[in-house]
Amino acid sequence: MSQATSISETSNVPLHKSAQRLRWFVDAFQKQVAETEAQTGNLFALDTAAMTEAFAEWMRAFEAQKPLHDEDKPAYVGFAAGLMLSNLIRFNPARVADIATDADSAKPAYFWPEGYLYVSFCLNVRGMILEKDYRAEQHPNSALEELRTWWSFRENARENVSSAIAYLDLFAGDEPKWNMPELFHSHSGGRSSLPSQNHASIRTRISEQ
């Protein structure tokens, strides 16, 4: 998975604040696309309107569940990255225009090129924010390279896009919350507001395959 180091910026503003701005998101996403294209040989066509829709919807969901307590903030970074992944999958702002000639469909990057791009972006942003703003490290799980997991991820995301939040936790090496993944679970006993979405649990989990 490509590490989009160029996503980062040098300003004094904390990265988690910059990431809440559309200008930063568009710039960072375009850099991720360029890096993923260089890494995989796949080419993507970008839809700016869909990118903005994904960001706007993410912003709404992000604001709706923002934690009240500081100790919840690092966990919320992971949750917010998952929310972003679910919205990227929903609005699909990057469509693969050309697959690499030597593509091996047993590899995640070629099995689901858009999903791979979105996961790369969300994991990279998640990891950088945790590292720069919260001095925490991200340790991606080996499931990230497993086609079986990606097959399950794609099927579940098609059925319930919120399941992407749990899958990103899994890929990032965290404990996924398969039940109601769209609901942030406060560690400090603070509130967790309920978004008005489908709360059905994910039917097919990796452990059941």
Which residues make up the interface to other proteins (CB under 8 A)?
A: 20-23, 26, 48-49, 52-53, 55-57, 59-60
Output the smallest distance, CB 182 to other proteins, in A.
20
Output the smallest distance, CB 194 to other proteins, in A.
21
Output the smallest distance, CB 22 to other proteins, in A.
5
Select 19 or 161, whichever has its Cβ closest to other proteins. 19
Output the smallest distance, CB 8 to other proteins, in A.
16
Select 48 or 105, whichever has its Cβ closest to other proteins. 48
What are the φ/ψ torsions at residue 44 (nearest 5 degrees)?
-120, 150
Output the smallest distance, CB 78 to other proteins, in A.
21
Task: Measure the CA–CA gap between 173 and 117, rounded to whole angstroms.
Answer: 18
Going by C-beta distance under 8 Å and a sequence separation of 6 or more, which residues neighbour residue 43? Answer: 37, 96, 97, 98
Element (H, E) at 46: strand 43-46
User: 87 vs 13, 17, 81, 105, 139, CA distance in Å?
Assistant: 25, 19, 10, 25, 23
Task: Measure the CA–CA gap between 150 and 140, rounded to whole angstroms.
Answer: 14
Supply 106's token pair: 């047993």
Segments of 64-171 assigned E as strands: 94-98
Select 1 or 26, whichever has its Cβ closest to other proteins. 26
Output the smallest distance, CB 84 to other proteins, in A.
14
CB 203 within 8 A of CB 151: no
